[in-house]
């Protein structure tokens, strides 16, 4: 596949390409261009013209086109989901859900934009109105784990607000994004308005973050990448919206329903093979129920089916790559060497698969209990005796994306949730909870800004005050 610049399939100016690998069987699915800085500059020039065209349309005109785009995504849902499962290894049923969610996001932001009104402010002598205007060119950098869903979370509000958009997908997973872009352009989004550029983050990402032609960058990725992009955006005062790493913790209190806690833990940790930024990555369990929780967790894990993402009975697929699985294995082995005990799993096989792994005897001073984010299906269990101790363990991380507390005492759980130092705190859940309406974003090194219908549309627009002096 090739990039889309102005609606035209485009190769890299130097002819270089990179392979896209199916992580299930290590076969090459396709190739995509490795764009150069010159290519980036070219597509941004087209996008600047597109921003003027798209921004000149009325909100209703843009909304009608985005409604068509939402319908087009559903009509092409199967094709997009197939590409997504092939390049990510995630179960096909999950990929279908990602496309459906992207369609909802395009439709929802278009509808919200129609009801985003200006303001008239009080003044004894003057007429003061506050209006919203598009930012211009918005770059959306999406991660390998949810490229289609986050396409919707980022491009949906950017387009509804009147901006031109350039999508930069992760190098591992560009195919569904390219095809989705083609579908959206066919649905009526002007070719000058929506583009996709592929290539390495060190080259393409750097060129995008340094360019004065970019008005905002919305990134979902690692904290280290986010910091690097923010440093380079600062030179042009380019706006940044960052959804970054996490090492989310869930506190399971002594009065919790253990069966419910186990079900929540499994659903939260094996989804997308544990490759989720807001997945529970630290299980902080009261010592009085720790053994029972661990035993029931292992029993449920051993009954899971891991395998072909196109098999409807598969509960979990593989990790994104052989190197990703190897990194998880190394992190687990280091934790075991530090004194943790492996109750099940702890094995990488078929290159990119890693068995769900339960670790006990994990202490609060181990790296896994603080800032070592394991992007895989690993369940480290940390014991505690008091609520204060549990909160201290959870909040000691430099990340603060989400968190959870499970208890049958709502008052007690709510009091703990208020003290969780994170952007989200889920009672009777494990933290991995996100709707398209709620603001989703983190504290500390987990990011800046939010995604969701409540706030994101306004973040994609300038606020302008127009004053007519002496009208009254």
Phi-psi region of 302 (alpha: psi -120 to 50; beta: other; left: phi over 0): alpha
> DSSP string of 126-191?
-EEEEEEEE-SEEEEE--SSSHHHHHHHHHHHHHHTT-EEEEE--TTS-HHHHHHHHHHHHTT--T
- Which residues, listed in sequence order, are joined to residue 341 by a DSSP beta bridge? 360
CATH 3.40.309.10 location in the chain? 249-435
* Domain spanning 3-244+446-468, CATH class: alpha beta
DSSP string over 219-270: EES-HHHHHHHHHHHGGGT-EEEEE-----EEEE-TTS-HHHHHHHHHHHHH
In this predicted model, what pLDDT tens digit does every residue of 299-316 receive, in sequence order?
999 999 999 999 999 999
Element (H, E) at 4: strand 3-5
When pLDDT is cut at 50, 70 and 90, the band that residue 471 belongs to is confident
- Which SS3 state, helix, strand or coil, does residue 442 take? coil
- Active-site pick, 76, 149, 243, 373: 243
- DSSP letter at 346? -
Question: What pTM value is reported for the model?
Answer: 0.96
* Active-site residue, selected from the candidate residues 140, 277, 278, 318: 277
Task: Take residue 446 and report the two structure tokens written for it.
Answer: 């987990």
Superfamily of domain 249-435: Aldehyde Dehydrogenase; Chain A, domain 2 (3.40.309.10)
Residues 230-256 as b or e (16 or more Cβ within 10 Å = b): bebbeeeebbbbbbbbbbbbbbbbbeb
Q: What is the pLDDT of residue 409?
A: 97
Mean residue pLDDT across the chain: 97
Q: Mean of the pLDDT values across residues 392-407?
A: 98
Task: Read off the pLDDT of each residue in 427-453 and give the average, rounded to a whole number.
Answer: 94
- What's the pLDDT score for residue 462? 96
| Percent with pLDDT over 90 in the chain | 98
Domain limits, CATH 3.40.605.10, in the chain:
3-244+446-468
For residue 4, give the nearest of 167, 213, 220, 210 by alpha carbon: 167
- For 226-261, how does the pLDDT look when each residue is reduced to its tens digit (9 = 90+)? 999 999 999 999 999 999 999 999 999 999 999 999
Instruction: Find the length of the chain.
Output: 472
Residue 402 has pLDDT above 90, yes or no: yes
Tell me the three-class secondary structure of 377-438, residue by residue: CEEEEEEECCHHHHHHHHHCCCEECCEEEECCCHHHHHHHHCCCCCCCEEECCCCCCCCCCC
Residue 472 binned pLDDT confidence (cut-offs 50, 70, 90): confident
Q: Is 344 a catalytic residue?
A: no
Write b or e for each residue in 387-425: b if 16 or more Cβ atoms lie within 10 A of its Cβ, otherwise e.
Answer: bebbbebbbbbebbbbbbbbbeeeeebeebbeebbbbbb
Which pLDDT tens digit goes with each residue over 316-343? 999 999 999 999 999 999 999 999 999 9
For residue 412, pLDDT over 90 is answered with yes
Residues 6+ apart with CB under 8 A from 345: 301, 354, 355, 356, 357, 358, 377, 378
Active site residue 210: no
Q: Single out the residue of 266, 227, 228 nearest to residue 250, CA to CA.
A: 266
Tens of pLDDT, residue by residue over 29-38, are 999 999 999 9
Residue 431: pLDDT band (50, 70, 90) is confident
From CA 324, how far away is CA 351, in angstroms rounded? 10
pLDDT tens for residues 125-165? 999 999 999 999 999 999 999 999 999 999 999 999 999 99
To which H or E segment does residue 19 belong? strand 17-21
Using CA atoms, how far apart are residues 343 and 360, in angstroms rounded to an integer?
Answer: 7
Q: What is the DSSP string of 301-345?
A: HHT--B--TTSTT-SB---S-HHHHHHHHHHHHHHHHTT-EEEE-
Work out whether strand 425-427 and strand 403-406 pair parallel, antiparallel, or are unpaired. parallel
pLDDT tens-digit profile of 83-127? 999 999 999 999 999 999 999 999 999 999 999 998 999 999 999
CA-to-CA distance for 281 and 289, rounded, in angstroms?
Answer: 19
């Amino acid at each position: 596949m090739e990039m889309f610049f102005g609606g035209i399939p485009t190769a890299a100016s130097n002819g270089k390409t990179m392979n896209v690998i199916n992580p299930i069987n290590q076969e090459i699915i396709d190739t995509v261009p490795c764009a150069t800085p010159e290519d980036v500059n070219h597509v941004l020039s087209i996008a600047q013209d597109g921003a003027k065209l798209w921004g000149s349309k009325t909100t209703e005109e843009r909304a009608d086109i985005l409604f068509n785009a939402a319908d087009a995504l559903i009509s092409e849902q199967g094709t997009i989901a197939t590409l997504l499962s092939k390049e990510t290894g995630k179960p096909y049923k999950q990929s279908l859900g990602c496309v459906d969610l992207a369609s909802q996001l395009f439709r929802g932001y278009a509808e919200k934009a129609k009801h985003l009104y200006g303001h008239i402010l009080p003044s004894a002598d003057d007429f003061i109105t506050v209006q919203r205007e598009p930012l211009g060119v918005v770059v959306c950098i999406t991660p390998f784990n949810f490229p289609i869903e986050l396409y919707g979370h980022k491009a949906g509000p950017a387009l509804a607000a009147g901006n031109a958009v350039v999508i930069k997908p992760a190098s591992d997973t560009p195919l569904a994004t390219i095809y989705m872009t083609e579908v959206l352009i066919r649905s009526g989004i002007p070719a000058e308005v929506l583009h996709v550029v592929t290539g390495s983050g060190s080259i393409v990402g750097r060129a995008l973050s340094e360019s004065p032609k970019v008005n905002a960058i919305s990134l979902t990725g690692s904290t280290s990448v986010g910091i690097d992009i923010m440093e380079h955006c600062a030179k042009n005062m380019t706006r940044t919206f960052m959804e970054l790493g996490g090492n989310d913790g869930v506190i399971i209190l002594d009065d919790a329903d253990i069966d419910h806690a186990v079900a929540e833990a499994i659903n939260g940790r094996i989804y997308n093979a544990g490759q989720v930024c807001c997945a529970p990555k630290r299980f902080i369990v009261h010592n009085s129920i720790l053994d029972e929780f661990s035993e029931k967790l292992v029993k449920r894990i051993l009954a899971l089916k891991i395998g072909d993402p196109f098999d409807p009975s598969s509960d979990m697929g593989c990790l994104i790559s052989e190197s990703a699985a190897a990194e998880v294995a190394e992190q687990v082995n280091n934790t075991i060497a530090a004194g943790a005990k492996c109750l099940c799993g702890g094995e990488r096989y078929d290159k990119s698969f890693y068995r769900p792994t339960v670790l006990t005897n994990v202490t609060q001073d181990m790296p896994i209990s603080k800032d070592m984010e394991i992007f895989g299906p690993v369940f480290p269990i940390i014991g505690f005796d008091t609520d204060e101790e549990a909160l201290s363990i959870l909040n000691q991380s430099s990340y603060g994306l989400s968190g959870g507390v499970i208890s049958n005492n709502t008052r007690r759980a709510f009091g703990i949730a208020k003290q969780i130092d994170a952007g989200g705190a889920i009672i009777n859940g494990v933290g991995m909870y996100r709707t398209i309406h709620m603001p989703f974003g983190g504290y500390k090194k987990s990011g800046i800004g939010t995604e969701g219908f409540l706030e994101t549309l306004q973040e994609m627009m300038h606020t302008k005050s127009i004053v007519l002096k002496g009208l009254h």
